[in-house]
Structure 1
Amino acid sequence: MTRQLNKNTLLNAVDIEKLCDAAAREVDIEVVQETGSTNADLMSRLPLLQRPVLRVAVHQTAGRGRAGRPWLTVPGGMLTFSLAWHLPQAPQNLLGLPLAIGVALAECLNTLNQNVQLKWPNDILRDGKKLAGILLESAAASEGGTWIVAGIGLNLQVSDELEAQVGRALADAPWLAQMDRNLLLAQLLNALASALQQFAGHGFSAFLPRWNALHAYANQSVHILDHGQILHAGIALGVDLLGCLVLQTEQGQVNVLAGDVSLRPAT
């Protein structure tokens, strides 16, 4: 059986801006019908940017996830966008930023009754399945600090064909798919702009307890995989101030840096 995709994918930059809070109105909003990757588009323009930019694509043909993995999309079935933003911190002080962005998105989605949780380091889960993912890229800014580009892919309606391509069950949000897309995107941008302002002033410390409160695998047995091989096994306790996963193993406590490793529940 194939789920019917909602064709109401109309997005308009002016309409999105009208629905934004003050902080989000400082962002230049761009909507394109199709592009390869919104993250790649913005990363290529960072040396020229003067203001934050939100770039939204109805369809991405070369979307990317962590470690260069492809992010497959279906036109109209997902919300795919990237946000370029300047932060005062140096790149090495942004380790907790992907988690902070996850908190902002999850809290926003939960105000829309989505009941989501966070999977370390950068996935948003609903009913144990992936609803959204985050790809964070950055470059040192010539004026000091760092330009970051946060790419987000949010499943709204997922076809069985896409699940077959991905090779696992995915979560979607049919109720969000019925929302006005401009309103949904404005609410997500409001949450992101507020979070990035907060991170600029306080770093990850402002988000640490909020992330742990949304932790999908809190106090559960997990495996940390590196290229498919088990690197660590233990109980996931939470995250620390650097955004590392705190794992209680048989050998003692281990703080795992995200890098290219992945978390899986132990079976």
Structure 2
Amino acid sequence: MTFLPSPQQLASRATGPARQVALECVAETGSTNADLLARAPRLSGPVLLLAGHQTAGRGRSGRTWQSAADASLTFSLAWKFQRALPQLVGLPLAVGVAIADALRESGVQAQLKWPNDVLQGGQKLAGVLIETSAAPDGVWAVVGIGINLALPPALAARIDRPAAALPSQAIDREALLASLLNALAQVLTDFDAAGLAPFAARWNALHAWRGEAVAVLDQGQVRQQGTALGIDDAGRLLIDTTDGQIAVLSGDVSLRRLDPGA
């Protein structure tokens, strides 16, 4: 059966800034991000839209987010920022901290991979896609999140990289979603007030690839190689190379871990 809690059940678990979020659940839609982006000009406050199943989920760099009914937790949170669009750089990293914290509360030892992946055991457990829409007095950011609840064979075959799912032991999905909502609402509130800097140390403490050899890829081509150190207060990944330390902006680049001795 597809996981679809009632908005009233979720609202009863909301704390802090999450209490101001309108909660909506639909059995199926194409993309919760696309739905909320289309509604952004008419929104009066933050909205979380949960879909039991997405038929056209989107990932970073134009990729498709592969999901299956009852095997994925997919939702988007529309949040209005007073900051200008350029000041939202680093937001995916802060969101990653919120997701990892909520998962860890549920006993999942989540870690973070720059710039927007959540890992478990070195494999991708969750992803983040943030899209924006300008408003007269700020910017709407739609934070899309997909978490693998399970990996049935048909879904695993469609995913083009190693993936992880939540532990096989029962996890209270409603409690997890409520924890995610509370963590995200608090992080987004704090980010609007102070930017990424207060989250940098928290992200680095969850950094899965610290001290490992990595390659930075741009359109499939290796641009830099070195040892991953962590992020700075601007969200740039710091890499120790043979030519010295460099700082990499996310943009459309991706990160790959190198095999030992590569």
Q: TM-score, normalised by structure 2?
A: 0.96
Q: Check the 8 A contact 1:222/1:236 in 2, yes or no.
A: yes
- What code does the residue aligned with 1:33 have? A
Question: What are the Cα deviations for residues 111-137 of structure 1, in whole angstroms up to 9, with x where unaligned?
Answer: 211111100000000000000000011
CA–CA separation in structure 1 for the residues paired with 2:203 and 2:167:
25
Q: Check the 8 A contact 2:2/2:52 in 1, yes or no.
A: no
2:90 is matched with which residue? 96
Greater shift after overlay, 240-249 or 160-169? Answer: 160-169
2:187 is matched with which residue? 195
CA–CA separation in structure 1 for the residues paired with 2:88 and 2:2:
37
Q: How much has 1:183 moved relative to structure 2?
A: 2.0
1:146 is matched with which residue? 139
1:4 is matched with which residue? none
CA–CA separation in structure 2 for the residues paired with 1:10 and 1:90:
35
Q: How much has 1:179 moved relative to structure 2?
A: 3.2
Q: Check the 8 A contact 1:10/1:181 in 2, yes or no.
A: no
Q: Check the 8 A contact 2:212/2:228 in 1, yes or no.
A: yes
1:10 aligns with 2:4: yes
Question: What residue ranges of structure 1 are gaps of 5+ in the alignment?
Answer: 1-6
- The counterpart of 1:65, out of the listed 49, 59, 62, is 59
How many residue pairs get aligned? The number is 259
- The counterpart of 1:160, out of the listed 139, 153, 159, is 153
1:171 is matched with which residue? 164
1:40 aligns with 2:34: yes
CA RMSD in angstroms, aligned pairs only = 1.2
1:1-267 → structure 2 map (5 Å cutoff): 7=1, 9-143=3-137, 145-175=138-168, 178-267=170-259
Q: Check the 8 A contact 1:237/1:248 in 2, yes or no.
A: yes
Q: Percent identity, please.
A: 49
- What code does the residue aligned with 1:69 have? R
CA–CA separation in structure 2 for the residues paired with 1:12 and 1:248:
48
CA–CA separation in structure 2 for the residues paired with 1:99 and 1:165:
26
Runs of 4+ residues over 4 Å off in structure 1: none
Greater shift after overlay, 245-254 or 32-41? Answer: 245-254
Question: What are the Cα deviations for residues 129-181 of structure 1, in whole angstroms up to 9, with x where unaligned?
Answer: 000000011122212x21100000001111122111113331001357x3333
CA–CA separation in structure 2 for the residues paired with 1:265 and 1:181:
31
3-state SS of paired residue (2:162) = coil
Q: Check the 8 A contact 1:12/1:182 in 2, yes or no.
A: no
Question: What residue ranges of structure 2 are gaps of 5+ in the alignment?
Answer: none
- What code does the residue aligned with 1:119 have? K
